[in-house]
Amino acid sequence: MDAYRFALFIHVAGTVIVFAGYGALLFSTAVLRLARTAEEARAITRIIAGRRLGFEYVSAIDVIVIVGGAFLVVGGAMMATFTWGWNQPWIQVSVVAVVAIGLAAAFVLGPRLHRIGVALAQAPDGEISQSLRQTDS
């Protein structure tokens, strides 16, 4: 297998992994909206809000998306460097898009999900209150 095909495989695999991670996140947040009790919602937020590691919360979905993103970037960078060149407009747009999606996930989506997880951890057992349902909605 030549280097281009290897890089293409890594790039496509990374894309599939990222979409699988974001698909799992979308499904989990949809199920979270359907939860009737705090116990159900806490079980779901363990998947999407993760656990605190140092200063940051990391979930299984975060790990999946980060690994997929690394594959996507490494494969894309290899192809851009050795085959296409970085001066292609579609490559420049792709780089901006990947950076924007990563920043939005890290600084907008992630913190909101973690605030929901913290609010649920402090909520009493039983039916979810209306104020809790509106946390970061």
Instruction: Read off the pLDDT of residues 48-88 as tens digits, 9 standing for 90 and up.
Output: 776 767 667 778 888 899 999 999 999 999 999 999 999 99
User: What is the structure's pLDDT at 81?
Assistant: 95
Mean pLDDT (the chain) is 89
Query: Which segments of the chain have a pLDDT < 50?
Result: none
Please tell me the pTM assigned to this model: 0.83
- What gap in Å lies between CA 101 and CA 67, rounded to an integer? 15
Q: Which residues contact 52 (CB under 8 A, 6 or more apart)?
A: none
Q: Which residues contact 34 (CB under 8 A, 6 or more apart)?
A: none
User: What is the structure's pLDDT at 55?
Assistant: 67
